[in-house]
Chain A
């Protein structure tokens, strides 16, 4: 991993004597997609607002490319592009005018760059329509376009795929990955849609009640939960269950017309072969992968909001 472009140093926020963020310390490197994960009310948005200077910090600091957001705001924030919460645009202006508006606020954004960005997010056909006529997905695209205008080195996206249709989600995901890989942009994505984070991010930081409780790379997280949950549909069921109990250490549960059990990936073929050799009819074997979701729930526990 290359050098850190953003560092959070003991970042704290207290509102009315209530600590909201209790000291965050982590780094984000260029070229990585960092997932910021946490239940509602954990402090994701507050942290993001402090990163971009919308909220003051009670203590600590955020350093962007060597510039402190607290003391050298303009220099720090010029490397940042982002959407904070919803992609809110001026509804009475066209998409292009909205982009022109933001382009005037940063030096060096040319007309060509505006056109380039419009093409990038695929808004060519509707860019002259008023934003009030846009669907949520189109606003999301315009929001991303706006964030990319000045070629930032850090892109902060709060729930970027919110409101997009499946093909839109895939497109944005691919685009985020490409930005990180080819242009070395550090992307911070906040979301609580876990499966999506898994596909998009390199590293994930989990925040709960204003504290960072875990930070790890996605690959590690997946390896740690190697065991898969498998559900099997077979006939006759009672006999199948008996056979399974012979080979598997854990419980075999029967619900409706399927048997569920937990094994590692390598064990699965052997089990099926055994069932077939004992003349059991196997109709289906489904692996419900033990995903980040379980890991996430393990970490944050139930009733997450204090």
Chain B
């Protein structure tokens, strides 16, 4: 086991000895900080001050009345309105003042950057095996008293460690940037959400963290996919290209085959686990349990193929 940790340490050492890894970290940091600054300088909505004192009660009551009258007329988007109505009522009943745009809104908006991390992780996952072949170092790496399976596992673990590092960086940097630019008032505000027609309360920290993790499912699957292509074809360009193409076109693929019986078995129909917690699934008869099982099957398939090709094939020149 200690042996395995040494291998992961090796992979991390090689990763951070390359300039490209640092460039990726910097790109992410620039995106988050730059986005914050643009919002701060330009954005209208972030300027909104939270109403002082008890004014928020009147504002919410006014909003509710307006929504109710809209609903009587039959206009507006019904489910959305009902939700707002219930949430507002909950705030009034429990004395929870809404906050203006603060650090948590910024953190939530930065969730879109998870797709940037997917992109970067795909690049890392695609290179980690293929580059050893490109550099020729695979020969010296494999003539050690360590099984190929263990080396493969160390490389995969290293990719996951990298993805986790990037996600943590994004999260922490969003909080820091958000706090610096938009203030930390209401830092401990609860997050309200609808579940089974009832308004529920959750700590905002828990909510945002779990949202980030749910958004990483796609990242995780595509990184594993890129890792597999890299192990099978020993070519990083191919792995990066195919994985990014699939990542970008995933939703269109699902939409295209939507009416087919087997559409729900497509990987991309199942990667968005957020759909089970907030909103409706793309394909009606999907459930969380089903999606997780499908994902598990794909994961085993990807890792199995990687393992098969990495451990069984001869190491020859190119």
Which chain A residues have a beta carbon within 8 Å of chain B's beta carbons?
Answer: 49, 52-56, 73-75, 77-78, 80, 82-86, 88-93, 97, 100-102, 104-107, 146
Contacts and interface: CB of A to CB of B under 8 A. Distances in A.
B316 interface: yes
A102 B316 CA distance: 21
Q: Which 5 A-B pairs have the closest CB atoms?
A: A88-B136, A78-B145, A104-B6, A105-B144, A54-B315
A84 B145 contact: no
B143 A80 contact: yes
A55 B18 contact: no
B137 interface: yes
A53 B143 contact: yes
B10 A77 contact: no
Contacts of A78: 145
Given A54-B315, A88-B135, A93 B14 contact: yes
B147 A73 contact: yes
B145 A77 contact: yes
Contacts of B315: 49, 54-55
A237 to B, nearest CB: 53
Interface in B102-147: 135-137, 139-147
Contacts of B247: none
B255 to A, nearest CB: 43
Contacts of A146: 140
Nearest to B313: A56
A91 B69 CA distance: 70
A86 B143 contact: no
B14 A85 contact: no
Contacts of A74: 145-147
A92 B19 contact: yes
Interface string B10-52: 1001100111000000000000000000000000000000000
Interface string B196-230: 00000000000000000000000000000000000
A80 B144 CA distance: 8
Interface string B260-304: 000000000000000000000000000000000000000000000
28 contacts: A49-B316, A52-B143, A53-B143, A54-B139, A56-B312, A56-B314, A73-B147, A74-B147, A75-B145, A77-B144, A80-B143, A82-B143, A83-B140, A85-B136, A85-B317, A88-B135, A88-B137, A89-B140, A92-B17, A93-B13, A93-B14, A100-B13, A104-B7, A104-B10, A105-B7, A105-B144, A106-B144, A107-B3
A129 B9 CA distance: 21
A77 B315 CA distance: 16
Given A49-B315, A54-B315, A93 B145 contact: no
Nearest to B5: A104
Given A77-B143, A90-B17, A91-B135, A105 B314 contact: no
A265 to B, nearest CB: 45
Given A97-B17, A105-B6, A90 B145 contact: no
A106 B145 contact: yes
B238 to A, nearest CB: 22
Nearest to B144: A105
Interface of B: 3, 6-7, 9-10, 13-14, 17-19, 135-137, 139-147, 312, 314-317
A78 B147 CA distance: 11
A93 B17 contact: yes
A102 to B, nearest CB: 7
A54 B136 contact: no
A134 B143 CA distance: 23
A52 to B, nearest CB: 4
A83 B137 CA distance: 10
Nearest to B139: A84
Nearest to B315: A54
A92 B13 CA distance: 11
Nearest to B134: A88
Contacts of B18: 92
Contacts of A56: 312, 314
B150 to A, nearest CB: 10
Nearest to B137: A88
Given A85-B139, A85-B317, A89-B140, 14 more contacts: A49-B314, A49-B316, A53-B142, A53-B143, A74-B147, A77-B145, A83-B140, A84-B139, A86-B136, A88-B137, A90-B137, A92-B17, A93-B13, A104-B9
B142 A54 contact: yes
Nearest to A50: B314
A184 B156 CA distance: 40
A151 to B, nearest CB: 13
A55 B146 CA distance: 15
A25 B250 CA distance: 55
Given A77-B145, A92-B18, A106-B145, A101 B13 contact: yes
A49 B136 CA distance: 13
A106 B144 CA distance: 7
Nearest to B145: A78
A69 to B, nearest CB: 11
Contacts of B316: 49, 55
Contacts of B143: 52-54, 77, 80, 82, 84
A101 B14 contact: yes
A55 to B, nearest CB: 4
Contacts of A80: 143
Nearest to A13: B314
A215 B283 CA distance: 71
A298 to B, nearest CB: 31
Contacts of A83: 140
A52 B314 CA distance: 12
